[in-house]
A and B are shown apart, each in its own frame.
Chain A
C-alpha cells in the first residue's frame, strides 16, 4: 500500500508539473486582463491534436512538434483576444464567460467534425519505457513532460522578468492606466499576453500526447483542473500556479487510487468544490 501510494504521489507530481505549465497560461491571461478563459481545456486539446496529427501524418516526434503547437496556439490566442475578447474587455464578467464558452464549443466541436469522436493515441518507441527509482517506477514520457514543463515555466519566468516585453506585460497587469501613462500600448500587450497564455497550454498538450489519449471532448476536465489550480494558487500568481499544479497533480492521483481510477474525475471535481468553498482566495490569500 505504501509503495502504491508513493507511486501515485510520484506520478501525480510529474503530471503536476504539466498542470503547472497549463495553469500558468490561464493565470497569466487572468492576471493581465482579468479574463476567465473557459476554452482553456480545448486549447490543451488543440495542442495535443497538433502533435498527434504531425506524428500520425508526417511521423514527426511529438517533442519536435512542440514549437509548432506553441506557434499555432500563440496565433489562436492572439486573434481570439484581438477580435473576440478585446471588444468586451470592460463589459460585465458574464460576457467574457459567454464568449470563451462559445470559443470552447467551437473548438471542441470543430475537432469532432474534423476527425470524429474516436479515442486517438500516439505510440512512440519510448512510450512504454520506464525508469526505476528505488521501488518506484516512472514512465519515461511523464518524466520528460515534467522536465520540459519546468523548463518552459522557467523560460516564461525569464521572459516576464528580464525582457522589455515582460516588463510591459507586468506593468499592464499591475495597473493599466499607469502603464498607458509611461507609454506602454496596453492594447497591443493584451493580445500578446493572451497568445503567450495559449502557447503555454499548447505546449502542455504536446507534452502529454505521448501518454494521454486524445478525444475532442478531453478539454473540460482540464479546464476544471486549471481553474482549481489557479484559485488554489491565487488568481494571477505565477508561482502559485506551479505550486498549485503540483499539489493538484498529487491530490488527483492519490484520490484516484483511493477511489478507484474510474472515479479520478470525482477526486478533481471534489477538489474544485472544496477549493471554491474554503480557499477561494487561494492557499496564500487571506
Chain B
C-alpha cells in the first residue's frame, strides 16, 4: 500500500505562486479530493506529484520515498489530464493501450491481454463502440472518458484524476462518480482527485483538501469540514448558496460573553467564549449554512431553544429539489434559506426563521478563521 505526502511544496510559474507552502498526507488506499475554485492550484498540485512540473521547493513523497528527482515515468502514477491530452494520431484503442505498450510494460502484456484490458475499461466507460475512432472524431465528454480510460487501464501506485468527469452529461456524471469510487476501492489505489464541485467532492471523497490561491484552507472528512469550516472561504465553497455571513460584536454581559448582530444576540458556548477571550477578539463574523435555518409562516413558530429572526421573503428560486428563499429583516439583515421544493412561500410574505445557536460558526473578523479551530 502506498501513501502520498507533500511537505511544504511551493510551485512558482515565473513570479506567480501557484502552490504556496502546501503540506498534506494521503493515506494508503484513500481517495483524497482537492477542492477549490478555478486557479486554486489543483492541477499544478497533481502535475508536481506526477513529476511533469518540477516543484520550486518542498518535498514530495510517494510510498515514503522522496521522488522529487524521479522521472515521471519512474513514479508509477497514472494521470487523467483536465485537458485530456489525447494523442491525436492514435485511435481510441491505441490511446487507451498506450501505457501498456511502454517499453517497461510491453513484456508483461500480450496483444491478447492488451485487447482484453482495453475492452474492459472501455465497457466500463461506455466507449467500447468508439475504439476505432480518432480523438478529433469524439465529443468532449467522450474524449474525457478516453483520458480516464488511459488512466484506469493501469495498476499504478497512485491515480491522479484532474476533474475527471467535469465534462460529462449529468446522468453519466452521477453514475460514474459512484463507479469510479468503487473501482478505486476495489483496486485500493491511493488517489488524488480534483474538482470544483463540492457535491462531487463530498460524494466521492474519503477526505478533502480545500485550496484557495495555492494555499491550503482545510483538510478533513466531509463532516469535519461541514460541521466546522476552517474559515469563511471554506464556508463559501462547500455550500450552495454559500454560507450566510453577518458581522457581529462580542460584548461582556454579566460575566458572560454576548454575541450581538443586527437583531440577533445570544451567549457564546463556553468553549468558543474561552477562545475569544484568549485571542482578545471583539469583532466577529457569524456564519450559518442556508440549510441549517428553519423557516415557517406560522407567527408562533418555535421548534426548540434557539434564535428567532422575523423577516420578509424577498424572492424565491427553485433549484431542482430545493427551494432557495431570500429573506430580509427589518434590521436590514439579509440571508438565504434552503427549503424543500414543496415548501410554500409567497413573495413579500412575513416569515419566521429559526436556527440553533450551535449551528452558528463564529469567525474572527480579521483573520476570517473559525474560532473552533483556533
A and B associate: no
B residues in contact (CB < 8 Å) with A:
none
Residue numbers of A with Cβ under 8 A of B are none
